[in-house]
Amino acid sequence: MQYFVVMIDYGRRGREAIVDPEITRREVVSRVTSGEYQNISFIHEIAENSVEDVTEAILAEAALPQIPPEDVDLQATRMDHARDLRKHERT
């Protein structure tokens, strides 16, 4: 049997461990990405008789992709903004 334990830290209000044997790694990553799981203390993967801390790996999977600045077309962005402004002009 394999399952994940996600420990959420609520500060002064305490902590909550979310344990659901039905949840998959993909679902944990999805919930972290969507913001459903915030203020995560740790994520442990329990498999058979072993426990592995997978916090860093799951947070890395859930991270938004970084777009290098040279890939951003600033001229197109300015033109889109100008077009949007023209849409709201009174004629």
Torsion angles phi and psi, residue 5, rounded to 5: -120, 120
- pLDDT at site 65: 65
Query: The tokens of 60 are what?
Result: 């890395």
- pLDDT at site 14: 92
Instruction: Return the number of other C-beta atoms located less than 10 Å from residue 6's C-beta.
Output: 22
- pLDDT at site 85: 78
- How far is Cα 64 from Cα 73, in angstroms, rounded to an integer? 19
Closest CA to 5 of 60, 15, 64: 15
Select the more confidently predicted residue: 1 or 73. 1
- pLDDT at site 27: 95
Q: Report pLDDT digits (tens) over 32-81.
A: 999 899 899 999 999 988 999 999 999 999 886 665 666 666 667 777 77
Q: Report pLDDT digits (tens) over 3-37.
A: 999 999 988 899 999 998 999 999 999 999 998 99
pTM: 0.66
